[in-house]
A and B are shown apart, each in its own frame.
Chain A
Amino acid sequence: MMFFLKLSLLNLLRRYGRTTLSMVSVIVGVLVIILGRGTIDGLRESIIRGQIDAMTGHVTALPADYPTAGLSHPLENLLTLDDATTEWLNTNTVGWTQRLLFAPRVVSGMDAVRVRAIGYCPETDTRVFPRGDWNVQGTIPETDSDGILLTRGIARTLSLNKGDSVIVETRTHAGALNALQVPVAGTVSTGNPAIDGLVVFVPMPLAESLVRPNGQFSHLSLLLNRRADADNAAAQLQSLLGNTARTTTWEIEAAPGLEAQDIRQTFLDIIAMALLIMAAAGIANTVLMAAYERIREIGTLRALGLTRRGVMGLFVTEGFVMGLIGSIIGAAAGAWMTWKYSIQGIDMTSFVEQVGASDMMQDLPFSTMLYMNFSVSIIVIAIIVGVTVATVSSFYPAMVASSRNPADATRG
């Protein structure tokens, strides 16, 4: 057995260039599988994280008739908390907070923009929405008089800096028009294109003065121990809140963004498959050429008593070895790259800006840092696929080799 493995290896080395070429095609195929999967799974995780960390937490409750997308933030029907719900939230969640979303105009001199304002509770907001990636210039406002926090894009559009003041115009809960002059407490870049350039943060006491919701809110978000429990928690919360509210989970909200990833995934899988077909053709060709070049040697081995099956084994081993070496090299490179970029990430900021992706991704919360997904199972699967493709594609040429007459050894 070892003897014939050795013979196969020596035969492969004999046509070093041809062997290397076939192996490279396996390497590329395996590498594309691992990098493709690593990128898509990384994007997927990044979308999920963006959704959870900036938008919904694990579960969010909002008024029953609330629109699902866009800049429309109705204020007529808002939510309140009763004691039973508060009790449930305190015992069943890791953290919870309320937010009031509204759509004011921010006016600075002659310029004005319509934005999404997030009214947040200064004491509890970070229990659900982490600010680890935030880059703040100035301070994060907490009181009525601290003013508002602008995301950097808006500050740039209106040429504002911390310390400047702006007028915020909005409808109130009752439907009247209201406007206040407030200071800019600071500017922030959150690293999330669905937020940056589109949102201003308003501390709840100031939101209260602007919208006058009387302690009511539009969003109630919570975090659980495990994100997989979201469905269950949403159902419980729904029954507590009754039919004035509806609950949603990170999974539901992230679904449209993830669907786009499924398309990318399919696309990359097709590319990987095309590459593997090329690899298969390369290997089949290499083994077939070997079978024709070595007619006399095959005959000699048959004369020495090697069976047809033995000849097949000899040539299939050559395909297998090329597949194995190619797959291991491809997997090693893929593992190294996905591991590296799973830790240090790839900064997509310039890419996102170039394609104007923040428009595209309004409803697609997605961090501009792409962290690839390092997965041992994908690496193992890629190796298995590479080895299988190489081995299977050497079957036909091996059959050609084994069907030669042993008397060929004595002629030509």
Chain B
Amino acid sequence: MNGGFLIAKCDVIDVSKLYGSGVAEVRALDAVSLEIDTGEFTVISGPSGSGKTTLLNLIGCLDTPTAGTILLEDTDISSLGERALARVRARRIGFVFQSFNLIPVLSALENVETALHLAHTEGNRREKAAEMLEAVGLKDQMKRRPTQMSGGQQQRIAVARALVKNPALVIADEPTANLDTATGAQVLDVMRTMNQKRGVTFLFSTHDPRVMERASRIVSLRDGRVEDDRKVEKPVGAANSGPSSQE
């Protein structure tokens, strides 16, 4: 869990997740195994209710599996306590949510800064946050509150918030589901650029074909099981460089 911050190897071994009990029991994930490597731009696809969010929550240390093991850089996350998990989330993992989940009382800049505060990063947090907002094309919107901004702008703030702390892994749960085609593509391009420029590992869930087009790997879920897992040879927007190239 230490060392270089861009190493994001994640092993999901035989993981099951059950919700509820008795007749109300739901098997959201059923013995899922998956290996994610540094620099990948992986998409988890599948119909609604297939277990995408559940899987991402487990990998993102937001929830714990009912059975099986999740190794983040060879550390079993079930061995970590609440505070240690919070630390992993704060420093190593960035989240982008379907409904943006920005803090409405904070400006765009403060929202991004929040991630730095919680990660306890050093240096000028305000400056770093401003640079990141500039990188996602929101240079002139920094002082505005999210509620005054469009969905595309809000999701770009969320992307900036996820990336500003240089996480090893960014988890994005249906990030384009609440955006129209053009803005969705814009947000995806921002993320694809970050993936290629910085080597940040991305893990998406979606059933949006535009997202799948850009993926380097597509994992299909159905009823909580992995149905298909394939690498994509030449994803859209991958330019001429390979998915793991770094500048």
List residues of A whose CB falls within 8 A of some B CB.
Answer: 3-4, 7, 10-11, 13-14, 296-297, 299-310, 405-407, 409-411
Contacts and interface: CB of A to CB of B under 8 A. Distances in A.
A303 B161 CA distance: 12
Contact of A306 (B91, B118, B161): B118
B119 interface: yes
B63 A405 contact: yes
A305 B103 contact: no
B83 A307 contact: yes
Contacts of B78: none
A304 B89 contact: yes
Contact of B97 (A13, A14, A305, A409): A409
A296 B99 CA distance: 10
Contact of B62 (A14, A309, A407): A407
Contacts, number: 83
B86 A302 contact: yes
A309 B88 CA distance: 16
B103 A300 contact: yes
Contacts of A307: 82-83, 86
A406 B97 CA distance: 13
Contacts of B83: 307, 309
Contacts of A10: 105-106
Majority-rule SS of A interface residues? helix
B114 interface: yes
A7 B101 CA distance: 16
Contact of A14 (B86, B88, B105): B105
A157 B198 CA distance: 102
A410 B62 contact: yes
A308 B233 CA distance: 43
A405 B85 CA distance: 13
B11 interface: no
Contacts of B161: 304
Contact of B173 (A14, A299, A301, A410): A410
A3 B98 CA distance: 26
A321 to B, nearest CB: 14
Given A300-B97, A304-B118, A305-B119, A410 B53 contact: yes
Interface residues of B, number: 32
Contacts of A309: 83
Contact of A303 (B53, B89, B104): B89
B90 interface: yes
Interface string B41-85: 000000000000100110010110000000000000000001100
A405 B86 CA distance: 12
Contacts of B91: 305
B117 interface: yes
Interface of B: 53, 56-57, 60, 62-63, 82-83, 86-91, 95, 97-99, 101-106, 113-115, 117-119, 161, 173
B69 to A, nearest CB: 19
B57 A410 contact: yes
Q: Nearest 3 pairs between A and B by C-beta?
A: A305-B90, A10-B105, A305-B118
Contacts of A299: 101
A408 B88 CA distance: 18
22 contacts: A3-B113, A14-B105, A300-B95, A300-B103, A301-B114, A302-B86, A303-B60, A303-B62, A304-B89, A304-B114, A305-B88, A305-B115, A305-B119, A307-B83, A308-B82, A309-B83, A310-B118, A406-B89, A407-B63, A409-B95, A410-B57, A410-B97
Given A7-B105, A409-B101, A306 B86 contact: yes
Contacts of A4: 117
Contacts of B105: 7, 10-11, 13-14
B57 A407 contact: yes
Nearest to A308: B82
Contacts of B98: 410
Given A3-B117, A297-B104, A409-B97, 8 more contacts: A7-B105, A297-B103, A300-B101, A303-B62, A304-B114, A307-B86, A406-B89, A407-B62
A305 B95 CA distance: 10
B107 to A, nearest CB: 10
A308 B62 CA distance: 13
Contacts of A405: 62-63
A331 to B, nearest CB: 28
Nearest to B94: A304
Nearest to B83: A307
Contact of A296 (B60, B86, B101): B101
A403 to B, nearest CB: 11
Contacts of A304: 89-90, 95, 114-115, 118, 161
A310 B85 CA distance: 14
